[in-house]
């Protein structure tokens, strides 16, 4: 039986693991857990092929605990309860719980996720869930609150190159073939940053040639274009087409946006993934120029979630055209970015005394809440007072754009605040 290259090259230790240095590197978020051999329950969120399953396995191995795995595609509540019952029995002889790894946990229904809660809470199992979808949308809040969320980044070109060169040098089969790696641009592009796909393509490129193998962009294009459809959905086109879709909406071209929407639908893209991107676009690119856009996008997500496909394509199209033809503003997007940058720069500045909560006499004696002016007691429900930390008083994060609605907001700001906020 042939074992695929991706499986043959699966790392055996954390040291062999490529990428995600922010998690497993020297100062990575998971490094203390690895060194102490104590794992928290967690959700690993990242695109396909970046090492979620491998990382879960290696974490269990580093903690010296047993590793159980379930696929959300083929497992139900019954299988979850069986694993939990088995873990409860084995825990009688161990101090650390086994790892239950659930691949594609976003596919678990609410009842399936509910079945995990008690076991996670009691420490019967250490849950590691893997998902390619935003957990905020797909994992129930109760489970999210009991787990740590770790984001896995797309693999860099350096990571991909390391995976390829290591495979050519160390794999028992590929190391027997003379391979010249002349250029990698097309190879990395066809893989879409998916290490599993990259290795399977590499093996195919080496196997179909006799004698010395020269891997360059021309050879890759010629060889893999015959198998291109196999890689489109979660590979390069997955990212390129969603990028073209969002940029067409941002550029106010409803025809192009509808075309790219149709490409995704015909390619079998997850309708909820498209709907989520519409929600993001409604805030990032339209925002205050037309606040109704966010309501439209949110309702589109709910509609798609409830009616499914193929009918879901209709509200998707309606929302796409609505967003593309809406006035545009990224003022809110820019404002939160500036505010976060200020926090990273200035740190946790103290809340001014007059804005602090004063529920007790001792707090009032310390001056908490003293001097605060209640806006509704003043004309126009407005009073000119500082609401920022004293150190950054007068700093402007929000700058209204040029849409008609934002011009009105600008006038409102200037009428109330005058020149308090610096440009």
Question: Can you list the alpha helix ranges (DSSP code H) found in 171-291?
Answer: 185-191, 195-207, 217-224, 229-232, 236-250, 254-266, 271-281
pLDDT score of 50? 87
- The H helix count followed by the E strand count for the chain is 21, 7
Q: How far apart are CA 410 and CA 257, in angstroms?
A: 31
Class of domain 19-151: alpha beta
Report residue 76's pLDDT band, with 50, 70 and 90 as the boundaries: low
pLDDT tens profile 138-186? 788 888 888 889 988 888 888 888 888 888 888 888 888 888 888 888 8
CA distance linking residue 324 with residue 314, whole number of Å: 15
How confident is the model at residue 228, as a pLDDT?
43
Dump pLDDT digits (tens) for 174-221. Answer: 888 888 888 888 888 777 778 888 888 888 888 777 778 888 888 887
Q: What is the pLDDT of residues 381-418, one digit of tens each?
A: 888 888 889 888 888 888 888 888 888 888 888 888 88
DSSP, res 235 = S
Class of domain 157-232: mainly alpha
> Torsion angle of alpha carbons 306, 309, 311, 312, nearest 10°?
60
User: What pLDDT score does 227 carry?
Assistant: 46
Tell me the pLDDT tens digit for each residue of 350-385: 999 988 888 888 888 888 888 899 999 898 888 888
Point out the least confidently predicted range of 1-10, 126-135, 313-322.
Answer: 1-10
Which fold does the domain 348-417 belong to in CATH? post-AAA+ oligomerization domain-like (1.10.3710)
Q: Which two tokens stand for residue 198?
A: 């990259």
CATH of 236-324, one of 1.20.272.10, 3.40.50.2300, 1.20.1740.10, 3.40.50.11540: 1.20.272.10
Contact 356, 368 (CB under 8 A): yes
Cα–Cα distance for residue pair 2/199, rounded to 1 Å: 14
Q: Does pLDDT of 244 surpass 50?
A: yes
Residue 70's alpha-carbon distances to 23, 80, 84, 181, 210, in angstroms, are 23, 8, 12, 38, 40
pTM of the model: 0.55
Please state the domain extents for the chain: 19-151, 157-232, 236-324, 348-417
Please provide the DSSP assignment of 21-85 as one string. Answer: HHHHSTT-TTHHHHHHT----EEEE--TTSSHHHHHHHHHHHTT--EEEEETTT--HHHHHHHHH
Query: Does the pLDDT of residue 298 top 90, yes or no?
Result: yes
User: Mind listing the pLDDT tens digit for each residue in 30-39?
Assistant: 898 888 888 8
The reported pLDDT for the residue numbered 220 is 82
* Percentage, residues of the chain above pLDDT 70: 92
């Amino acid at each position: 039986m042939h074992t695929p290259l991706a499986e043959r090259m699966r790392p055996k230790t954390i040291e062999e693991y490529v990428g995600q240095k922010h998690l497993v590197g020297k100062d990575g978020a998971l490094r203390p857990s690895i060194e102490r051999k104590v794992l928290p329950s967690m959700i690993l969120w990242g695109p396909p092929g970046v090492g979620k399953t491998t990382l879960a396995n290696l974490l269990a191995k580093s903690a010296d605990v047993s590793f159980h795995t379930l696929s959300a595609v083929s497992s139900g509540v019954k299988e979850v309860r069986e694993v939990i019952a088995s873990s409860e029995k084995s825990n009688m002889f161990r101090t650390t719980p086994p790892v239950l790894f659930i691949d594609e946990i976003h596919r678990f229904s609410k009842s399936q996720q509910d079945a995990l809660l008690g076991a996670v809470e009691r420490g019967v199992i250490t849950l590691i869930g893997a998902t390619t979808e935003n957990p905020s949308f797909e994992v129930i809040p109760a489970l999210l609150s009991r787990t740590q969320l770790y984001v896995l980044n797309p693999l860099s070109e350096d990571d991909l190159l390391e995976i390829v060169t290591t495979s050519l040098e160390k794999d028992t089969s590929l190391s027997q073939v003379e391979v010249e790696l002349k250029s990698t641009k097309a190879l990395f592009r066809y893989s879409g940053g998916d290490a599993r796909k990259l290795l399977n393509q590499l093996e195919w490129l080496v196997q179909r040639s006799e004698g010395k193998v020269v891997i360059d962009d021309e050879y890759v294009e010629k060889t893999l274009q015959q198998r291109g459809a196999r890689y489109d959905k979660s590979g390069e086109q997955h990212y390129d087409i969603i990028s073209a879709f969002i940029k067409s909406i941002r550029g106010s071209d409803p025809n192009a946006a509808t075309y790219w929407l149709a490409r995704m639908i015909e390619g079998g893209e997850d309708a909820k993934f498209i709907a989520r991107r519409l929600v993001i676009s409604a805030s990032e690119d339209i925002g205050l120029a037309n606040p109704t856009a966010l309501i439209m996008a949110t309702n589109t997500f709910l509609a798609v979630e409830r009616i499914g496909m193929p009918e879901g394509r209709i509200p998707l199209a309606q929302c796409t055209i609505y967003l593309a033809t809406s006035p545009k503003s990224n003022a809110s997007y820019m404002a939160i970015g500036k505010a976060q940058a200020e926090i990273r720069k200035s740190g946790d500045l103290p809340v001014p005394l007059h804005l602090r909560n004063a529920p007790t006499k001792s707090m009032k004696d310390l001056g908490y809440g003293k001097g605060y002016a209640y806006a509704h007691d003043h004309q126009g429900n407005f009073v000119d007072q500082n609401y920022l930390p004293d150190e950054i008083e007068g700093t402007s994060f929000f700058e209204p754009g040029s849409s008609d609605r934002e011009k009105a907001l600008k006038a409102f700001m200037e009428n109330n605040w005058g020149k308090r906020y610096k440009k």
